[in-house]
Amino acid sequence: MTARLLEERRGAVQVLRISNPGARNALHPDVYSAGIDAFERAAGDAQVRAVVLAGDGAHFCAGGNLNRLRENRAKDPAVQAASIDLLHRWVRTIRGCPKPVIAAVEGAAAGAGFSLVLACDLVVAASDARFAMSYVRIGLTPDGGSSWFLGRRVPHPLAYEWLATGEPIPAARLHAAGLVNEIVEPGCALEAAARRAERLARGPAFALAGIKSLLCDDERDALERRQQRERDTFVAALFHDDAAEGIAAFLEKRTPRFSGDASR
């Protein structure tokens, strides 16, 4: 099934669900474009007072599709750069949306899926949800603005651990670090996030937009600059031999044998 973005209106709340359940809701540039369009429409629609971003089914989002990444290694690097630019535009559109945006996380939120969570204003997660900046495990560097978000929001040792190991992070640990607002029973994240969204939707829209502006306006240029560096570093890493080995090892379900060569 092709990755897509499902839309549902619940009163004044717009619910958006990343849908590619056969691949744990792995992303595709078509979803990036649909996400940009959906958030731009929500921003301009006075009838939408809050947005919930969720996954379709048991997972939030497993991040990028490794088969597509492997295919892109055979193409001009500009192809992958353009894809990352589109993802980054979606992240900035979420940050720039004046309406409250709440992530509802079940199952896995990995790679760019984790980056999308970090772009939201509030996060509701199931108790068994797992988050991972798993890029390094296949020889890649992070994108989606994740290095910028984590670098600002948690101490360096935590950000470095999560980015440099790629190990799964339990929801409880992110809650303790201040990155998750509420932990709920498995299967309840979407409804709990929708309840929060409904409460916010009854609030003063002008004041809520002002609060988000005060918190986010100064970050715009800095976030975009970091995303440009993330793009360039990611593309360079994708065309390194380590990424070829890391992606192949993951798809073949074996331990990767990285070269240890950091010179190129």
How confident is the prediction along the chain (264 residues), in pLDDT tens digits per residue? 588 999 999 999 999 999 998 999 999 999 999 999 999 999 999 999 999 999 999 999 999 999 999 999 999 999 999 999 999 999 999 999 999 999 999 999 999 999 999 999 999 999 999 999 999 999 999 999 999 999 999 999 999 999 999 999 999 999 999 999 999 999 999 999 999 999 999 999 999 999 999 999 888 889 999 999 999 999 999 999 999 999 999 999 999 999 877 766
Q: Would the pTM of this model clear 0.85, i.e. be above it? A: yes
Phi and psi dihedrals of 63, rounded to 5?
90, -145
- pLDDT for 220 equals 84
| CA–CA separation, 28 and 72 (whole Å) | 13
What's residue 263's pLDDT? 67
Residue ranges of domains in the chain: 4-188+201-207
Which class does domain 4-188+201-207 fall in?
alpha beta
Report how far residue 29's alpha carbon sits from residue 211's, in angstroms, rounded to the nearest whole number.
31
